[in-house]
Structure 1
Amino acid sequence: MVLSSTKHHGLVRADEYFKNRQIHSDDISGYKLVRRGWFAYATNHLAEGSIGLQEIVDTACVSPIYTVFSCLPEIDANFMYRILKSNTMLAAYGVHEQASVDRRGAVRYRDFKKIEVNLPPFAEQRRIAEILNEVDTQIQRACLRREKLAVVAGAATAALIHSASEATGVEWTVLEEIADISAGVTLGNHEPGDDAVSLPYLRVANVQEGYIDTADVKFVTVRSSDVERFRLAKGDVLLTEGGDLDKLGRGGVWDGRIDPCLHQNHVFKVRCQTAVYRPDFLASYLASPRGKSYFLGVAKQTTNLASINSSQVKKTPVPIVPLVEQERVVASVAEWKSQLVSADKDIDKLHLLRSALMNDLLTGKICFPVSA
């Protein structure tokens, strides 16, 4: 079995982590053995935290460019793993990097082994590792609960949309009849001039499934006269034109948190006639199995890639659902989203707790003397 070291998950099975491609050689006779309880790190990525403790099988192997080592019997391996993944150690790795190209710095074992660490008595090491393991278990359980909730929420939303759109007497139209659809600004098309302004804009990366992520927003320079053409308004439904299959028709409703804010040409802006259609209902419908099936059916596709154009978006079939029914669906979807947000906050709190505990326990700020 071939293992790979990762930043967030330690050592993982290469065939499971890299599902669509084989990253190791067919001939692994020159690979290094790594036994249960041993460590391995990717020499060129250690400063990013790419190091792991082998707890998967009795014996596996890793790339020959990896460094493999084990601890002395008086060192608890789980405790040492926590130390090696701590922020203090990540900073120390960076100091010992030797590189000529950014992000390809190597930390040789001759330098790695000289880094000093704080080592309490063995019994205390084990106790600290147990505490941090328990927090990790709580995080895993919280993530699993969140995943289950997301599945239930998705199924419930799909059922609501299906019921509303297939109700007796519901008529159908196309999207351009109940909304204005337009593409955004094309990068590089606008030469700086006296009337140029630099404004934030949303890219495909900002438009996620069901929400808009503004953690990393770029700026674009456009003519002042073009601002209103590309400017987003609260309630606009944003859809991505595609790329990878998961980006085809992906979208959410813009809440106006940044104003003014523009959108890129790979992101369609759909502005509903609110007297007829609720943006939140439209976004939920387009994300439903029926909405997705339309995009998949008309998209231009190649291997693992697909895209739609504005004409296809305009011709998207949509049901004419009474506003009162749209409101009912929107309220139910909002409740599910609220539960998911609450679950995310619980997970974030556990991550903060783990970070604080690691800082205090691994640096000796909090000690747990263990009697013999």
Structure 2
Amino acid sequence: MNTVRLRHLAQINPPTPAFDRLADDDELTFIPMESVWPDNRLDISQRRRKSTVATGYTRFQDGDVLIPKITPTFEAGRAVLIRGLLSGVGTGTTELHVVRTGPGIDARFLLHSVNTHSFLKLGTAEMYGVAGQQRVPDSFLRNLAVQLPPLAEQRRIADFLDTETARIDKLIGLRKVQEEILAEKSYSSVSEALVPGTLAQPMGNWPWTWLPETTKDRPLVRLGYVCRLQNGLTVDGKRDVSGDVVTRPYLRVANVQAGNVALHTVTEITVPRHVADQSTLRPNDVLMTEGGDLDKLGRGAIWRGEIAGCLHQNHVFALRPEPDKLFGEYLALMTQTVHGRSYFESTGTKTTNLASTNSSKILSFPIPLPTVAVQRVLTRQAQEALDAVKGVSQHLSRQRIVLAERRQALITAAVTGQFDVSTASGRNVTDGVNA
């Protein structure tokens, strides 16, 4: 097996004469970075007129291998062999390297070569730029040493890997579908536990058309009657930082997730002590965000006092239930039901796929309110169902990770000649992971 520099086997970021031959009004394929995914996840459905993409974009043609250059897309192994472009030509994000193979290397073999662990590790080590904006230089690709078997062997390896990686990708896809089904299962389980009949017997009465008929032991009560809302502090450059001030950690919108609080990045802020006192979180507060993705709006998470003296910004609301009327865990789970999702989506202010709410709408949230003792029982039942689903989901997620690791290991072993693909079947690739 010979070792050859890639620049002797392929053109790196070459010109594309086929693009120049198109008329200004001709349409061609346009590929933004979010559309660059391997296998059937590659999206080549977008179109642009040549005149709108004549400058400032990367050009390529059918048969080219596209390699993302920027972190973290490069490390994710999202290189693709492009086919099926409109008129055989495309443009896209400038964050792509284009490799056009010559007669000495099979394009599919090259694609598998740039998905090996060693290639990704070497490329990551060659990145330059500031954190979060690091890129792989084209000099790395030009000087890349490729272990090159004869062309016929390259094609046998590519045929083998195409078949085996497709099989593994199918298993990974099935696991992902199963995880999505489980997520819906947990959603429906919590909904039925806290608001029975939501999925099967909605009354259709305006304005809460999704709600079933409530019973006397579960009256519908607006949140403001049983809960106080604390606003957060405004974070801007105009705040007074003189006199009696304190420096405290504070939570941003990014910290408040559906059902949990993410504490891996918590920022600090210096504010007057009296301002801090007005925005200090207490254990068992229910946190909700003012805005975000439409399908996450209104999700509640319990603050358990993980950080002493922690504050929250004004885009995060802290709800403080009256202990003898409302159990905080019950409220947090209620925001994850069909009722909670429907209420906040229907009352939120929407822009494209983003939405926002406000304190008035939160305090107007109508919730079925049994006694606190019953709330605790229902919360425990719903949480047990969530935990059971979470356990299965974590198992499926681990299987996906194992499959992805074995996929890359198989590619590396085949491309580097660690076994003879003509006698291999790939049967052992997914041992221990049932379909």
TM-score by length of 1: 0.76
What is the Cα deviation at residue 74 of structure 1? 6.2
Task: Name whichever of 66-75 and 200-209 sits farther off.
Answer: 66-75
What is the Cα deviation at residue 214 of structure 1? 2.7
Alignment counterpart, residue 290 of structure 2, candidates 223, 228, 241: 241
What is the Cα deviation at residue 231 of structure 1? 2.5
Measure the CA separation in 2 of the matches of 1:72 and 1:340: 52
Residue in 2 that maps onto 1:270: 319
String of CA shifts for 1:214-233, please: whole Å, max 9, x gaps: 33332222334444432323
Task: Name whichever of 294-303 and 254-263 sits farther off.
Answer: 294-303
Does residue 34 in structure 1 map to residue 58 in structure 2? Answer: no
Q: Is the Cα–Cα contact under 8 Å of residues 199 and 220 in structure 1 kept in the other structure?
A: yes
Q: Counterparts of 1:1-372 in structure 2 under 5 Å?
A: 2=29, 4=31, 6=33, 9-10=37-38, 12-15=42-45, 24-25=48-49, 32-35=60-63, 38-41=64-67, 45=70, 48-49=73-74, 52-54=79-81, 57=84, 61-63=89-91, 67-70=98-101, 75=106, 77=108, 80-86=110-116, 88-90=118-120, 92-93=122-123, 103=133, 107-108=137-138, 112-118=141-147, 122=154, 134-163=167-196, 166-169=213-216, 170-188=218-236, 190-193=239-242, 195-301=244-350, 305-342=354-391, 343-344=393-394, 346-348=396-398, 350-351=400-401, 354-355=404-405, 358=408, 362=412, 367-369=418-420
The structure-2 alpha-carbon separation of the partners of 1:332 and 1:186, relative to structure 1 and needing over 3 Å to count, comes to same
String of CA shifts for 1:18-74, please: whole Å, max 9, x gaps: xxxx67436699864324xx52245x6488428532377587542076625247676
String of CA shifts for 1:219-251, please: whole Å, max 9, x gaps: 222334444432323322111112553453233
The aligned amino acid for 2:228 is: D
Residue in 1 that maps onto 2:431: none
Residue in 2 that maps onto 1:18: none
What is the Cα deviation at residue 346 of structure 1? 3.8
Q: CA RMSD in A?
A: 4.2
The aligned amino acid for 1:150 is: A
Question: What is the number of equivalent residue pairs in this alignment?
Answer: 361
Measure the CA separation in 2 of the matches of 1:234 and 1:118: 59
The structure-2 alpha-carbon separation of the partners of 1:257 and 1:24, relative to structure 1 and needing over 3 Å to count, comes to farther
Measure the CA separation in 2 of the matches of 1:208 and 1:202: 11
What is the Cα deviation at residue 152 of structure 1? 2.0
Identity %: 23
The aligned amino acid for 1:116 is: A
The structure-2 alpha-carbon separation of the partners of 1:260 and 1:117, relative to structure 1 and needing over 3 Å to count, comes to farther
What is the Cα deviation at residue 144 of structure 1? 1.2
Q: Is the Cα–Cα contact under 8 Å of residues 232 and 279 in structure 2 kept in the other structure?
A: yes
The structure-2 alpha-carbon separation of the partners of 1:252 and 1:99, relative to structure 1 and needing over 3 Å to count, comes to closer
Runs of 5+ unmatched residues, structure 1: 16-21
Runs of 5+ unmatched residues, structure 2: 1-27, 198-211, 424-435
TM-score by length of 2: 0.66
What is the Cα deviation at residue 142 of structure 1? 1.8
Measure the CA separation in 2 of the matches of 1:272 and 1:119: 68
Measure the CA separation in 2 of the matches of 1:349 and 1:3: 34
String of CA shifts for 1:175-195, please: whole Å, max 9, x gaps: 122122111121135433464
The residue matched to 1:318 in structure 2 has which SS?
A: strand
The aligned amino acid for 1:175 is: L
What is the Cα deviation at residue 307 of structure 1? 2.8
Measure the CA separation in 2 of the matches of 1:177 and 1:333: 24
Q: Is the Cα–Cα contact under 8 Å of residues 147 and 416 in structure 2 kept in the other structure?
A: no
Residue in 2 that maps onto 1:19: none
The residue matched to 1:63 in structure 2 has which SS?
A: strand
Measure the CA separation in 2 of the matches of 1:211 and 1:23: 40
The residue matched to 1:220 in structure 2 has which SS?
A: strand
Q: Is the Cα–Cα contact under 8 Å of residues 287 and 302 in structure 2 kept in the other structure?
A: yes
Q: Which has the larger radius of gyration?
A: 2
The structure-2 alpha-carbon separation of the partners of 1:46 and 1:214, relative to structure 1 and needing over 3 Å to count, comes to closer
